[in-house]
Amino acid sequence: MRLGEDEARARLAAHDHGVLCTVHAERGVDAVPVVYVADDGGSVGVPVDRVKPKASSRLQRERNLEADPRATLLVEHWERDDWSQLWWVRAELRFEGDAAPALAARLAERFEQYRDQPFDRVLLLRIVGITGWAARA
Amino acid sequence: MRLGEDEARARLAAHDHGVLCTVHAERGVDAVPVVYVADDGGSVGVPVDRVKPKASSRLQRERNLEADPRATLLVEHWERDDWSQLWWVRAELRFEGDAAPALAARLAERFEQYRDQPFDRVLLLRIVGITGWAARA
């Protein structure tokens, strides 16, 4: 049921899509779907890209993180009909600035949508805590 | 790209699974996958159930909401390979207490997993704002 830390980290590293939650002064919390890639040093990189059209190049998530570096990434496996397959991992994160080029390269390897479209920026978020749950071991 | 409020509400009402984000005093934000059902009066009901085994019957999300009633529900459609299909809706919510029995009944209709397992509780969250995005109209 509750996942051990190693298992939670392994599932986070094996996946690449989740919901990033940041602190918003008025709304309390903001949440947005993201793709991400985990590095080998205990951080994740979240792209600010130009592939999915945005209303503004300066995203609310960036403003939130610069005002308060705390964030949470939730990664889950959902199956409507078979709840014995459900699991999720939640990483507690701290925004540290821009990711190194190697992490951006890894994102471009993982998602072909990025191959011809450079990122505006890749946000680097350090994992400071991780927890997870699975319906069965 | 940006969804109008009516369209965002319609998508929220048509779906029943998302990520609920609440305010946590230390971590800043908490996030957990949930099922939900929208009522006709501008609220959603989120069950606290006994189907998916939990470590504790008193959930962190309940403690968070009782300390700070602000919450966010993110509902999204994700497709790894075709980003032209992506969309998401984010509802800004306020926790109001326990939902009326009719909303619990609707959840039990929607998810057969609940038919033989009563809820511990259904949390009522009023929608105070809604926004959304789609890769194409």
pLDDT value, residue B134: 95
| Smallest CA–CA distance from A129 into chain B, residue | B27
Indicate the range of A119-123, B74-78, B91-95, B132-136 predicted with least confidence. A119-123
**Complex ipTM:** 0.92
pLDDT reported for residue B56: 59
Query: A135 and B17: CB-CB below 8 Å?
Result: no
Smallest CA-to-CA distance from B15 within B1, B30, B36 is with: B36
CB contact under 8 A, A27 and B74: no
Prediction pTM value: 0.93
- What is the residue-wise DSSP string for B67-100? H--EEEEEEEE--SS-GGG-EEEEEEEEEEEEPP
Average pLDDT of span A105-134 = 90
Contacts of B19 in chain A (CB under 8 A): 19, 21, 31, 74, 76
CA dist., res. B12 & res. B73, Å (int): 9
Average pLDDT over chain A, rounded to an integer: 90
Q: pLDDT-based confidence at B115, cuts 50/70/90?
A: confident
**Out of A23, A80, A90, whose CB is closest to B31?**
A90
Tell me if B1 and A90 make a contact (CB, 8 A cut-off).
Answer: no
Query: A73 pLDDT exceeds 90?
Result: yes
Burial A62-85 (b: 16+ CB within 10 A, else e): bebbeeebbbbbbbbeeeeeebee
Percent over 90 (pLDDT), chain B:
70
Please answer yes or no on whether A72 and B17 come within 8 Å at the CB atom: no
- Contacts with B83 from chain A: Cβ below 8 Å: 51-52, 113
CA A76/CA B41 separation, integer angstroms:
29
DSSP-based three-state secondary structure for B101 = helix
Q: Give residue A61's pLDDT band: very low, low, confident or very high (50, 70, 90).
A: confident
Average confidence (pLDDT) over A62-83 = 94
Confidence of residue B28 (pLDDT cuts 50, 70, 90): confident
Whether the per-residue pLDDT at B57 is higher than 80: the answer is no
Per-residue pLDDT band at A106 (split at 50, 70, 90): very high
Q: Do A72 and B29 touch (CB under 8 A)?
A: yes
Task: Evaluate if residue A54 carries a pLDDT over 80.
Answer: no
Is the pLDDT score of A75 beyond 70? yes
pLDDT of residue B8 exceeding 90 = yes
A40 CB contacts (<8 Å, ≥6 apart)?
Answer: none
Residue A97: what pLDDT? Answer: 95
Question: pLDDT band at B46, cuts 50/70/90?
Answer: very high
Q: What is the pLDDT of residues A4-52, one digit of tens each?
A: 999 999 999 999 999 999 998 888 899 999 999 999 889 999 998 766 6
Can you tell me which residue has the tokens 């947005």? A32
Say which residue, B18 or B104, is predicted with more confidence: B18
- pLDDT, one tens digit per residue, over B60-105 is 889 999 999 999 999 999 999 999 999 999 999 999 999 998 998 9
| Cβ–Cβ below 8 Å for B17 and A78 | yes
Q: From chain B, pick out residues whose CB is under 8 angstroms from the CB of A23.
A: 28-29
For position A11, what pLDDT does the model report?
Answer: 97
Calpha distance B9→B132 (Å, rounded): 9
Q: Which of residues 30-89 of B touch A (CB under 8 A)?
A: 30-33, 51-55, 68, 70-72, 74, 76, 78, 80, 83, 86, 88
CB-nearest partner of B86 from A52, A68, A88: A52
* Residue of chain A with shortest Cα separation from B136: A53
